[in-house]
Structure 1
Amino acid sequence: MSFQSNKMDTFGYFWLVILATLGAINSSRADLQLNFYAKTCPKAETIVQDYVHEHIPNAPSVAAALIRMHFHDCFVRGCDASILLNSTSSSGNQTEKAATPNQTVRGFNFIDRVKSLVEAECPGVVSCADIIALVARDSIVVTGGPFWRVPTGRRDGLISNASEALANIPAPFFNFTSLQTFFANKGLDLKDLVLLSGAHTVGIAHCSAFSSRLYNFSGILGNQDPSLDSEYAANLKAKKCKTINDTTTIVEMDPGSFRTFDLSYYRLLLKRRGLFQSDAALTTSSTTLSYINELLQGSRQDFYKEFALSMEKMGRIDVKTGSSGEIRKHCAFVNS
């Protein structure tokens, strides 16, 4: 064999190594894509959709709970289903489920049932993280809300800590500055903040999430938040949250329209009837107030279109793809 031939063989081998390395890197950083499971589990999205269509109409309030779960999941370690992991007594680790912001999150059993159906069809293929994202979208759609694209290919995380949930999920008592910071930390801007808050047009809240506005504002017992409409506050105290210690009573987030995904939430904000301080905070910035007014001047379909874009953006936060994470067999536990 000639020297030239050896040189060419070495050169060719060098590029094969480079291409293989690049392939491995691209695999570990693979992006999400629509119909990711088209070949590996072609019925996956249909199974999810069918289950949602069968059960959500009988319990429409669960749709709001599931979109909240998706939000809380994505804000901690990205959209990796870390919110679904159970605490383990053996290690003493308290997972995100145990954190204060997640103690009122519902829908875990719903996700487990969907996962079991998908696993029966395609074992070890579809991630719990993708199931959360698909269920959240399909649940809102089946209740008459907007559709948004859900590219898939997420993988499930291996770590879940209660302290991280507390440190990353925006709280209902946040002011505008805190909201802006927390959203910016996740790559979301002020328009996303306004649009994603619009999910409060459906669902319910516990009195404990906002009772300080009624009875203990600024840490002063008996003080009421002056930014809250006085008539609305009086009605809440008389008929709903009758004491500051009420931890069980629930209140409609968007009174009179809490089952309908519409613009009513934003109209209430301008009437100073947003339930949370974080809702009211959206009217304290000229930028977010301008976005609110733009939404109200448009149609419901305009809102749906913009909301869809922000939901897809949120669904991409710090996702694990390629060889990162794993595909859990059971959503509440990492694989052994």
Structure 2
Amino acid sequence: MLTFAIFLVLFYFHYQLGFSEAQLQFGFYSRTCPSAESIVHDVVQHAVAKDPGKAAVLLRLQFHDCFVEGCDGSILIKHGGNDDERFAAGNAGVAGFDVIDEAKSELERLCPGIVSCADIVALAARDAVVAAKGPFYVVPTGRRDGRIANVGHAANLPDDKDPINTLKSKFREKGLSDQDLVLLSGGAHTIGTTACFFVMPRLDAQDPTINKEFFKILRSKCPQGGDVNVRIPLDWDSQFVFDDQILRNIRNGRGVILSDSVLYRDNNTKRIIDSYLGTNRSSKANFATDFAKAMVKMGAIGVKIGVEGEIRRICNATN
């Protein structure tokens, strides 16, 4: 417990300076709504206990929110048409809205008009990781909610078919490094599933980078002419547990989707993956710790603070 406490203290001070510019704060709601984080935690724990797959969708939800208008809850807005951000092609399959709405409802009952939907998304992602036996990390809060949700603004989301240089470019545009690309992709895909729709093109083309035995497994789950909506694990060996097995899979030709597999075809991202899989414990990088840092870094993209944006009364509609 002492080592863990020291880690949190060091983590806090390491990032305090980094977030002074963005003006996000650790414990932002400590006075205005002291139970805010525990409420989100309880809602997420209950949801994941009922459906372990919820952990993956809540983690993915923050990624898809932050990569468009910034981390401002814009992906939650639903005006009633099909022109909202959540309906972009790159957001296909994004879910978890019901969990965010449940947490928001409870927070509005206890602390009306205080906690933003954007912060709920960030806290829920952290609590989902913890529910999947991943690392706990302190989330700086104080985000305000955006008022814009336009499907056209989500046209440049990272895509499963993107070549490695395109993925690297899209991450760099958001201030994220190649290491962040590996960490956030690997972390997001160590839990959860994908649809055969995203796998079949690789199988039909007989992608030679797929391990031959693993190819047979994938083909049996996603046969030619089969149901494209069948879901299969992204991490075949531990789909509900946050760990570094996804990196071993990628290294060994067992990456399920193309955007994971290409991470081992680039010299720099390959080197980063290998750094987490080294046999020497003293020099081996810590995947869980670095993933937590990458999540905090991503969570600061384009945040709205102070008088920017608003605090929505409900998460799926602007005030």
TM-score by length of 1: 0.84
Q: Contact conserved, 2:145 with 2:309, CA < 8 A, in 1?
A: yes
Render the CA deviation track for 1:224-275: whole Å, top value 9, x for unaligned: 212222321222112x111356331000011121111111111111111111
Q: Contact conserved, 1:208 with 1:244, CA < 8 A, in 2?
A: no
Deviation at 1:286, TM superposition (A): 1.1
Q: Contact conserved, 1:87 with 1:98, CA < 8 A, in 2?
A: no
For 2:169, give the aligned amino acid. T
- Corresponding residue to 1:175 among 156, 163, 185: 163
Match of 2:230 in 1: 249
Consecutive unaligned residues of structure 1, counting only runs of 5 or more, are 1-28, 216-222
Q: Contact conserved, 2:143 with 2:304, CA < 8 A, in 1?
A: yes
Deviation at 1:277, TM superposition (A): 1.1
SS at match of 2:214: helix
SS at match of 1:205: strand
Percent same amino acid at aligned positions?
44
Q: Structure 2: how far apart are the matches of 1:30 and 1:308? A: 18
Greater shift, 102-111 or 245-254, is seen at 245-254
Q: Structure 2: how far apart are the matches of 1:326 and 1:244? A: 48
Greater shift, 150-159 or 292-301, is seen at 292-301
Q: Structure 2: how far apart are the matches of 1:324 and 1:243? A: 50
Matching of residues 44-193 of structure 1 within 5 Å: 44-89=36-81, 94-167=83-156, 169-193=157-181
Q: Structure 1: how far apart are the matches of 2:276 and 2:240? A: 19
SS at match of 1:251: strand
Is 1:326 the counterpart of 2:310? The answer is yes
Is 1:281 the counterpart of 2:262? The answer is yes
Match of 2:13 in 1: none
Is 1:305 the counterpart of 2:289? The answer is yes
Q: Structure 2: how far apart are the matches of 1:166 and 1:34? A: 32
Q: 1:272 to 1:247 in 2, by over 3 A?
A: same
Q: Contact conserved, 2:122 with 2:299, CA < 8 A, in 1?
A: yes
Larger CA Rg, structure 1 vs 2: 1
Match of 2:218 in 1: 236
Q: 1:207 to 1:301 in 2, by over 3 A?
A: same
Q: Structure 2: how far apart are the matches of 1:30 and 1:72? A: 20
For 2:94, give the aligned amino acid. V
Q: Structure 1: how far apart are the matches of 2:259 and 2:118? A: 27
Render the CA deviation track for 1:143-172: whole Å, top value 9, x for unaligned: 2111122100001111111122222x1001
Q: 1:210 to 1:145 in 2, by over 3 A?
A: same
Render the CA deviation track for 1:12-57: whole Å, top value 9, x for unaligned: xxxxxxxxxxxxxxxxx86100111111111111111122223312
Greater shift, 229-238 or 186-195, is seen at 229-238
Q: 1:30 to 1:185 in 2, by over 3 A?
A: closer
Q: Contact conserved, 2:47 with 2:54, CA < 8 A, in 1?
A: no
Render the CA deviation track for 1:290-325: whole Å, top value 9, x for unaligned: 111110126699211111110100000010011111
Q: Structure 1: how far apart are the matches of 2:262 and 2:183? A: 14
Q: 1:324 to 1:83 in 2, by over 3 A?
A: same
Match of 1:258 in 2: 239
Is 1:316 the counterpart of 2:294? The answer is no
Q: Structure 2: how far apart are the matches of 1:127 and 1:243? A: 45
